[in-house]
Amino acid sequence: MKIYLDNAATTPLAPEVKQAMLEVMENEYGNPSSIHAYGRQARTLVEKARKTVASLLNTAPANIFFTSGGTEADNMAIRCAVEAYQLTHAITSKTEHHAVLHTLEMLEQKGVLRLSYVDLDEKGNISFEHLEQLLANNPRSLVSLMQANNEIATLTDIERVGELCEKYDAIYHSDTVQTMGHYRHDLSTLKAHFVVCSAHKLHGPKGVGFIYVNPSVKIKPLLYGGAQERNMRGGTENIYGIAGLAKALELAYADLEKQAAYIQDLKSYAMERLKLAVPEINFNGETDADKSLYTVLNVRFPKMEMGDMLLFKLDIAGISASGGSACSSGSNIGSHVLTAIGGNPDHPSVRFSFSKYNTKEEIDYVVQKVKEVFME
């Protein structure tokens, strides 16, 4: 039996997305920058996809720029904002994705800016009091705080962050890779300057994403080249990927609440069954439905010999998941997220992440295999 529970890493391609991409591959091979008929057809396809994305997010098509994925989009937001506004201070958290953390750390190492980290509690929630203090003491900062943590699922109220940033004239970027297509985003009211998407997190193709740039900010490109993406991102557009991204987001929004309820039920069921099977189990991050990303469950297992073999044993049983433990004094790489919230390196953790294609029968199988590991 093969069970895929690593949807936070990447999701299976939806059949409808595959079909939409195949049609483009078969019929559209022009370069969107070419002025002849084939090029114009490809350009029409790209702009139609842009309008689809913009409409779903309630913003103007001119604010959406296609990229190679979330990492490029995060880099573009951070590096281009710092350059355009000569920013010398940034605020983030130690649980951000490395696409954000490593970019900011690089800028600090080069002496471009000074970096501050907002305080976190043991579940990964940011301290809004500390955030406001940092903003008050450092006017015109860059703030980069994700909406949902990709490892421990803790949600951050990005509307509240945006309001604070507006109050203190800060530039706000949110890594929304894990939430785009899983929650509704109204970019006409959200006080964020940049949000991002990676299509393969919502049953779309790998290697394509987008960045939303609020029209109130003016930045220069990260990648120079041709005049693509209205002179904001050089390079021939990935028309197959862009078509797949738009279709994936369209599908996600068409049935979002129903699928969210279904996946939340799977997560709650998994929590209940795992606790019954191994009572010593606990969970990392927030688990309340209104505070936690419904697609992700991070399970902290009891201390065990050869804890690093847990994932291997699950893989042998046909279960795909991801995991790790907190770093232990530099002796192992570990999870920077679990380390940041005070995780115990002696306790192995596994991240199970769900999609609409998973079932309770699969959860039952996983729980049985977990139980067998602890009965050995």
Q: Give pLDDT, residue 100.
A: 98
Q: Give pLDDT, residue 329.
A: 46
The reply to whether 3-11+255-375 and 15-254 are identical in fold is: no
- Topology (CATH level 3) of domain 15-254: Aspartate Aminotransferase; domain 2 (3.40.640)
Q: Give pLDDT, residue 344.
A: 85
Residue 375: strand, helix, or coil: helix
* Secondary-structure class of domain 3-11+255-375 per CATH: alpha beta
| Nearest Cα residue to 211 out of 180, 235, 184 | 180
Per residue, the 3-state secondary structure of the chain, as one string, reads CCEECECCCCCCCCHHHHHHHHHHHHHCCCCCCCCCHHHHHHHHHHHHHHHHHHHHHCCCHHHEEEECCHHHHHHHHHHHHHHHHCCCEEEECCCCCHHHHHHHHHHHHCCCCEEEECCECCCCCECHHHHHHHHHHCCCCEEECCCECCCCCEECCHHHHHHHHHHCCCEEEECCCCCECCECCCCCCCCCCEEEEEHHHCCCCCCCEEEEECCCCCCCCCCCCCCHHHHCCCCCCCHHHHHHHHHHHHHHHHCHHHHHHHHHHHHHHHHHHHHHHCCCCEEECCCCCCCECCCEEEEECCCCCCHHHHHHHHHHCCEECEEECECCCCCCCCEHHHHHCCCCCCCCEEEEECCCCCCHHHHHHHHHHHHHHHHC
Q: What is the pLDDT along the chain (376 residues), one digit of tens a residue?
A: 899 999 999 999 999 999 999 999 999 999 999 999 999 999 999 999 999 999 999 999 999 999 999 999 999 999 999 999 999 999 999 999 999 999 999 999 999 999 999 999 999 999 999 999 999 999 899 999 999 999 999 999 999 999 999 999 999 999 999 999 999 999 999 999 999 999 999 999 999 999 999 999 999 999 999 999 999 999 999 999 999 999 999 999 999 999 999 999 999 999 999 999 999 999 999 999 999 999 999 999 988 765 568 888 999 999 999 986 656 444 457 899 999 999 888 888 999 999 999 999 999 999 999 999 877 6
Backbone angles phi, psi at 277, to 5 degrees: -75, -40
Strands 296-300 and 349-353: antiparallel
Residue 328: strand, helix, or coil: coil
Q: Give pLDDT, residue 328.
A: 47
Q: Give pLDDT, residue 108.
A: 98
**Would you name the residues annotated as active-site residues?**
327
The ranges assigned to domains in the chain are 3-11+255-375, 15-254
The amino acid sitting at 324 is G
Q: Rounded to the nearest 5 degrees, what angle is found at the Cα of 237, between the Cα atoms of 100 and 75?
A: 10
